[in-house]
């Protein structure tokens, strides 16, 4: 009899579909294998509520007799951040006292299930999606899948870990300040932060409702594209939804998988910040060298309008929007909040309506300044995070260390931009040598497809990235502190 490990394919959508079509795997067999993995120990604290075998099997059984050609995600397993509703399964936002059981799935989840995808569980997160570390959860600090001494990144921590461990082909996160990009960088994954509103947030516990996005973690740009295409669409009841309207003019990579001639804006050297992390500084220099070698044009830009916008997110009245989202709960059960979350959200009451309008005026001015940059470039490239940190370092200084992760991410939604985190090899020097490094491509709203084209070209042009099928090799659970390090079980970079 085959063991569950024997049944596990490479966790890419193409590989799964090929095995289903060949008859060497069925959705029911895959569910059995996943259930065997998720029902055991969870040393990474990735899950809040994995689905049982019976719960997953209902979705697999619904695929029987269906035509694969009509279901782009036929039998593809995915994980869901536990601030996104799945019908019949509690949503907690990592706060047990807040839990409720929805009768309907979030709009984006319903679309993915309709496309044939199989949900496998609800994942751990920074409570109420407030944080970039993955440490602020009563279910335990979510540990990095590649090295459990390190932060997983957040707030969509468990969603990234589930894909990095090979349990899910893709996962859903949310991204208000970088929550769908930082965990991707820390795990060598693709992290798509789409244009606001093109993936409905109906059925998502709000963080900042006017800024929130549903994000996608995947192992390849092609998989992210497939999920994005299946998930997007306007939901009538969602006041923040918008139609995806890609530009009519051809994107730089519309007809060829090449970075030649693509104009990337790069912050001035004086505006780059790594907080003393030589590992990340060296890795970003190496990524820029790779872009130049691929024929891309690097154009220095004034990054100050973007940095000033980023500061508004947590140093301005948008923190009050986090309070507004859960104010009744905070007023009645303040002690149910994680201490760090209580400190952040509790301080939001100091902002007045006058403060908010002044901040809106400031943001309008910064948007005007930032808009000038786009006249000369096709995309911006930055590190995804300025640095990384161990769990111990985060626990010792949770707010300051966490804030460093958002240096290059916090401006994106306030400026209504799209962004894509992509792997960029590993750190080769310094204290983080051997850990993944990632860059982010940023573009204007509705240029998501162009970003995915850039990622495909980048992953093909860069000698640092192995082929997709090799990257999709499924690691087994390991219990030592340095399990599944880059270059070992994954065999990438």
Note the pLDDT of residue 40: 86
Note the pLDDT of residue 33: 94
| Helices of type H across 166-232 | 182-187, 221-231
Contacts by 401-405 with C-beta closer than 8 Å and gap 24+? 401/133, 402/131, 402/132, 402/133, 402/135, 403/132, 403/314, 404/275, 405/132, 405/133, 405/153, 405/178, 405/182
Catalytic residue among 12, 133, 155, 157: 155
Q: Which two tokens stand for residue 105?
A: 């799935």
Note the pLDDT of residue 1: 32
385 catalytic, yes or no?
A: no
Catalytic residue among 81, 122, 193, 196: 81
484: pLDDT strictly greater than 70: no
Question: What percent of the chain has pLDDT above 90?
Answer: 85
Q: Which two tokens stand for residue 483?
A: 């399990």
354: pLDDT strictly greater than 50: yes
Note the pLDDT of residue 249: 65
81 catalytic, yes or no?
A: yes
How much is the average pLDDT of 92-101?
98
CB 48 within 8 A of CB 138: no
Domains of the chain: 4-471 (3.90.1300.10)
Element (H, E) at 57: helix 53-61
Note the pLDDT of residue 461: 57
How far, in Å, CA of 411 to CA of 406, rounded?
A: 9
How much is the average pLDDT of 91-99?
98
Catalytic residue among 179, 220, 222, 403: 179
pLDDT in tens, 179-223: 999 999 999 999 999 999 999 999 999 999 999 999 999 999 999
Note the pLDDT of residue 348: 86
Buried (b) or exposed (e) across 87-101, using 16+ Cβ within 10 A?
A: eebbbbbbbeebeee
pLDDT band at 486 (very low <50, low <70, confident <90, very high): very low
CA distance between the termini of the chain: 35
pLDDT in tens, 311-345: 999 888 999 999 999 999 999 999 999 999 999 88
403 catalytic, yes or no?
A: no
Note the pLDDT of residue 482: 30
DSSP-derived letter for residue 79 is E
pLDDT in tens, 144-167: 999 999 999 999 999 999 999 999
């Amino acid at each position: 009899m085959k063991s569950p490990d024997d049944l596990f394919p490479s966790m890419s959508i193409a590989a799964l579909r090929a095995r289903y079509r060949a008859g060497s795997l069925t959705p029911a067999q895959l569910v059995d294998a996943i259930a065997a993995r998720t029902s055991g120990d969870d040393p990474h604290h990735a899950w809040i509520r994995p689905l049982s075998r019976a719960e997953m099997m209902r979705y697999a059984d619904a695929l029987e007799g269906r035509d694969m050609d009509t279901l782009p995600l036929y039998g593809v397993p995915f994980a869901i951040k536990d601030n996104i509703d799945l019908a019949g399964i509690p949503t907690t936002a990592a706060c047990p006292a807040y839990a409720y059981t929805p009768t309907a799935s979030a709009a984006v989840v319903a679309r993915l299930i309709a496309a044939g995808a199989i949900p496998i569980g609800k994942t751990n997160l920074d409570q109420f999606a407030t944080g970039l570390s993955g440490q602020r959860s009563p279910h335990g600090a979510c540990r990095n899948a590649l090295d459990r001494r390190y932060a997983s990144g957040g707030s969509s921590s468990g969603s990234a870990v589930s894909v990095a461990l090979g349990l899910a082909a893709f996962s859903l996160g949310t991204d208000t300040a970088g929550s769908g990009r930082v965990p991707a960088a820390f795990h060598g994954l693709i992290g798509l932060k789409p244009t606001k509103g093109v993936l409905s947030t109906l059925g998502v516990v709000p963080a900042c409702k006017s800024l929130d996005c549903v994000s996608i973690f995947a192992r390849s740009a092609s998989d992210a594209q497939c999920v994005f295409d299946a998930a997007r669409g306007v939901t009538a009841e969602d006041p923040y939804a918008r139609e995806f309207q890609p530009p009519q003019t051809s994107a730089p990579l519309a007809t060829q998988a090449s970075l030649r001639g693509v104009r990337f804006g790069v912050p001035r050297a004086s505006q780059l910040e790594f907080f003393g992390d030589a590992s990340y500084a060296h890795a970003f220099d190496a990524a820029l060298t790779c872009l130049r070698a691929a024929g891309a044009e690097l154009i220095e830009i004034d990054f100050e309008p973007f940095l000033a916008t980023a500061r508004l997110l947590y140093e301005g009245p948008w923190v009050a929007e986090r309070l507004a989202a859960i104010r009744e709960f905070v007023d009645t059960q303040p002690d149910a909040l994680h201490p760090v979350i209580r400190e952040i959200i509790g301080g939001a009451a100091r902002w007045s309506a006058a403060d908010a309008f002044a901040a809106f005026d400031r943001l309008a001015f910064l948007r005007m300044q930032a808009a000038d940059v786009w006249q000369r470039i096709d995309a911006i490239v930055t590190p995804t995070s300025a640095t990384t940190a161990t769990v111990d370092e985060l626990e010792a200084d949770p707010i300051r260390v966490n804030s460093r992760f958002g240096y290059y991410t916090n401006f994106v939604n306030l400026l209504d931009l799209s962004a894509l985190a992509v792997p960029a090899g590993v750190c080769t020097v310094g204290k983080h040598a051997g850990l993944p490094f990632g860059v982010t491509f940023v573009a204007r709203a509705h240029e998501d497809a162009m970003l995915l084209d850039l990622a495909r070209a980048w992953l093909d042009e860069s000698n640092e990235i192995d082929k997709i099928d090799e990257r999709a090799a499924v690691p087994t659970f390991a219990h030592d502190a340095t399990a599944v390090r880059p270059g070992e079980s994954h065999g990438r970079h």
